[in-house]
Amino acid sequence: MMTLKIALRNIFRHKARSVITLSTIVFGCVALIFIGGYFEDIFTQLRESYIRSQVGHIQIFKKGFNENGKADPYLYFLEDDQQIKAEIQAFPEVKSIAARLNFSGLISTGETTIVFLGQGLEPQYEQTVPQQETRDLRAFKKTSKSGSPVISFGQGLVEEDQRQVILGQGLAQTMGAQIGSTITLLTNTVYGSTNAMDMNVKGVFYTSAKDYDEMFLRLPLKTAQKLLNTSSVGSWVVWLNKTEDTDKVYNSLRAMIKQKNLNLELRRWEDLADFYNKTVAMFNKFYLIMRIVTGIIVVLGIFNTLNMAVMERISEIGTLMALGVRRSGVMKLFLLEGLVLGTVGGLLGVVAGMIVVSLVSSVGITMPPPPGASISWLSTPKIIPSVVTSTFVLSVVVGGFSALFPAYKASRLQITTALRYR
């Protein structure tokens, strides 16, 4: 206790200097907590946007689809078994399950004909049902199910629709299609013959992925099945109430497939989210570099303070050793001062960091669309407990580390030289 008391009092002996050092630590902590929370928000929004607008949490395919399905997808179509779907729907974590049928073909307005990727879906079960556009990003964030597609013109699909189609914004622009105009979809049936169908453009949507919007259109599942002349579906998409339950449900589904010996295979959203995974890896690398830079700044700040303290207190160090304090005891005293600086700075820093994140989050930062996307988004940085804890631990560890050299230097002083020093 005595050593701690001395360490604390020595730190506040030169108030201005200690305040500057503590400010360095506090700013470092605030920066790390804010950037950590900001990145986490990016990850969450990107992830939820990808899940809600495209892939769902878990996709269920016929066994072998992911390995061989690209070459011949029709061979790996699923029977749309309503009983199994109902069993999956009964999982408490599952919000909904819907069938999808992906296919490709040509889209024509008579004047223009291009390739499209089509998605037959069940609007009544889909959790990627487009929302009406709003310019209020905060309201949009609350109502858009975190990234569901947005209807920019016209209306979205409903269960009763048959010959209605909604087009991705880029696709609609390329085609010069208007709401209400008729387009023709041309594709091969599962038996290899060609089939065509006239469709009515009901709406135009956009998602967070510009590439997706330039290629995709959506239509009712039954219409897609008619076009392809099949009663099967391509996959089932499962949405959960919470993304955090993905692994739990994935494992339960695997067990169910094994137990019932079903000819199915599963993919989690992260297995399909290559862009998301790479983005997270890249941002995490940025964050690591930022931590190292912040750590170095804090090390230099504390090192400077303690080094000056050693120079100013040489005579005191001599007195301590003359009184019988071992060299290790002197070292402990200065290490403790570094640790106390790191601890006090870290505590103030995490409190300030959480306040800053809360304030910024309450206002939000409007961000431009990221590369490959078409939607501006509202960033609301989050307080991440693991980031707060690791920032505090980093501050304490760096405090101790910064004190190592000054503490060693102090402990190596010759007593007689130190006592003579003025």
Partner 1 sequence: MSLVQISKVSRKYQLNSISVTALKNVDLAVAAGEFLALAGPSGSGKTTLLNIMGCIDKPTTGEVLFDNTQTASLSSDQLSDLRAEKISFVFQNFNLFPVLTAVENVEYALFLKKMTADQRRKKAEAALDLMGLLHLAGHKPLEMSGGQQQRVAIARAIVREPLLILADEPTANLDHKTGEEIVDLMKASNRQNKTTFIFSTHDQKVIDRADRVVRIWDGEIVSA
Footprint on this chain of partner 1 (rule: CB under 8 A) = 1-2, 5-6, 9-10, 13, 315-316, 318-319, 321-329, 415-416, 419
| C-alpha 203, offset from chain centre | 30
Nearer to partner 1, 9 or 135 (CB): 9
Nearer to partner 1, 167 or 335 (CB): 335
Q: How far is the CB of 13 from partner 1 (least distance, A)?
A: 6
HSE of 293, CA atoms in CB hemisphere, 13 A = 9
Angstrom distance (rounded) from CA 275 to CA 280: 9
A 10 A CB-CB count for 114 gives 13
Task: From 127, 220, 208, 193, select the one nearest 375 (Cα to Cα).
Answer: 208
A 10 A CB-CB count for 405 gives 15
Nearer to partner 1, 2 or 71 (CB): 2
Q: How far is the CB of 348 from partner 1 (least distance, A)?
A: 21
Nearer to partner 1, 2 or 90 (CB): 2
Q: How far is the CB of 400 from partner 1 (least distance, A)?
A: 21
Nearer to partner 1, 2 or 16 (CB): 2
Amino acid sitting at position 54: Q
Q: How far is the CB of 245 from partner 1 (least distance, A)?
A: 54
Amino acid sitting at position 64: G
Q: How far is the CB of 346 from partner 1 (least distance, A)?
A: 23
Q: How far is the CB of 356 from partner 1 (least distance, A)?
A: 33
Instruction: Write the DSSP string, 124-192.
Output: TT-S-PPEEP-S-HHHHHHHTTTT--EEEEE----TT-SSEEEEEHHHHHHHT--TT-EEEEEEE-TTS
Three-state secondary-structure class, residue 95: strand
Nearer to partner 1, 182 or 328 (CB): 328
C-alpha distances (whole Å) from 324 to each of 10, 321, 334, 415 are: 20, 5, 17, 11
